[in-house]
Chains A and B, each alone.
Chain A
Amino acid sequence: MANQPWLDDVKKRLAEQRLPPAYIWRFMEELSDHLQDFKEQNMSTEADVYSRLGQPEQVAQAAVASYRRHNFFNRHPLAAFLFFGLSPVVPQVALGYITVFFLCLLSEILGINTVSTNAIEPFASAACQFLYSLIIFICTSLACLLYFELAAWSCISKKWACISCFFPAGMAVLWQYSLLDEAGFQSVTLPIQFLAPLTFCWWFMRRKNEGSYPVATFWLFAISPVAAMVVLCGVSYFLLFLVSLLFPFPMFNNEHFTRMALLTLANVFNLLMVIIPSVMVSILYCKLAMKYGIGGKWILVSCAMLAVLAGSYCFSVTSTDATGHYYLHDGIGFWSPLQLFQFLIPLAIGLWFMRRKSDQSQLQLAA
């Protein structure tokens, strides 16, 4: 396209100003249309373009000033404080619980039990302390990096990005302090846990916005599917509880029939509270990835996380002596045939969407 230097200069300045890529794309599209109209209706030189359309820095400054003026967080400082100042603790703690859950699951699969021999107990104790500290460090760092990227993406003042690391830093120190006993270990880990988020903040402030947000993408496609699945399972559980109040399960006199009925009930629970939520959440995240052009690997990551969660959860039902009463048990475990089926479904959905994405790309190339 003619006069590409003017357009390229504007685009470069907009990217330097950390405007969201979607907005830059829209703005450049309209400027291209405008430039084409200008060229068609005027016998213009390149100098005419600069004088009529404006200097690239002037256009970029106008775009940045206008964008920041209507940014939600710039218009509502209280909302900005609540979001960037207080809420980072939520993903920090949530990620901690999710990490511990997956570690427990892993130990269950590997059959790791509590170590009781005197010879390796000190080593195991030190390893556990190191592991806990590492979990706290990673959860805090990822939570802070997420909020830094959100601040950069929404193009708000840098002070909000700075504020988002203080609360998690304090939480990390409290978390570390509550878990460990040894004063010597604490004297090293407590300062590290406090200073790490602040160091990330300093590094992030100096970094130029490259228009890519890998940590935010990780949170969206690796962590939030787990949270979405847990929420959906909780809602299903509540709805089933309401149904059970209205329609109490009848108990049969025949022991065989009762056993069969309880087994069927457990399978129904698995279907309603694990399989259906995992299918829904898998499809949601696959469609999200396809809509925003996110790479296929993130589809697989989301579906793998959901597969592990779905495959590890199971229900069983036991009856009691009281007629018409039973207990529902749920827990983590692995590799029963039903759980294997639950594990494979999200993976199958993810692979199907990836294949569809690849077919669509080939169609576009062919066109």
Chain B
Amino acid sequence: MNAKRTNPDFLNGVPELLILSLLARRPMYGYELVQAIRQSTAGTLEFGEGCVYPVLHRLEAERMLSSRRETVAGRSRVVYRVTAKGSKQLASTVSTWRRIVQAVNHALQGGEDGEPALA
């Protein structure tokens, strides 16, 4: 079995961010959400699919998501959707993420006081 590098430290919080942003577009059930993460990140980020459910449950306990059992494509499934609190948290997290990414990119490209980036 190939050993994949899993959960590097700098990816803490990324699963929650991805889940909230995808569910903000439309409500989804667990399997559908996992496929959406794979597709939207072009396969770069993957979950051990069973591990998505604890994240969903925790976000639901924090009232950022709500769930309901619904019939989808002829089968009963638990569908998750973002709440108002989750939307607010998503907006805040996205803003923070963009600032951090911009700052890190700036540092990697060589900031005012930093060394030039390696070729």
Contacts and interface: CB of A to CB of B under 8 A. Distances in A.
Q: Do A and B bind each other?
A: yes
Interface in B72-96: 75-78
A59 B48 contact: yes
Interface residues of B, number: 21
Chain A interface size band reads 20 to 34
A321 B108 CA distance: 97
Interface string A21-63: 0010011011101101110000000000001111100110011
Given A54-B48, A58-B51, A33 B57 contact: no
A66 interface: yes
A104 B39 CA distance: 73
Query: Taking chain B's interface residues, is the majority helix, strand, or loop, or is none over half, making it mixed?
Result: helix
A29 B55 CA distance: 16
A27 B29 CA distance: 13
Contacts of B57: 23, 26-27, 63, 66-67
Contacts of A10: 50
Contacts of A58: 48, 50-51
B70 to A, nearest CB: 12
A66 B78 contact: no
A348 B76 CA distance: 41
A31 B57 CA distance: 13
B48 A27 contact: no
B31 A54 contact: no
Nearest to A41: B31
Nearest to A58: B48
Contacts of A30: 30, 53, 78
Given A52-B49, A54-B49, A62 B1 contact: no
15 contacts: A23-B57, A27-B57, A30-B30, A30-B53, A31-B53, A33-B29, A33-B75, A34-B31, A55-B48, A59-B50, A62-B55, A63-B54, A65-B54, A66-B57, A70-B61
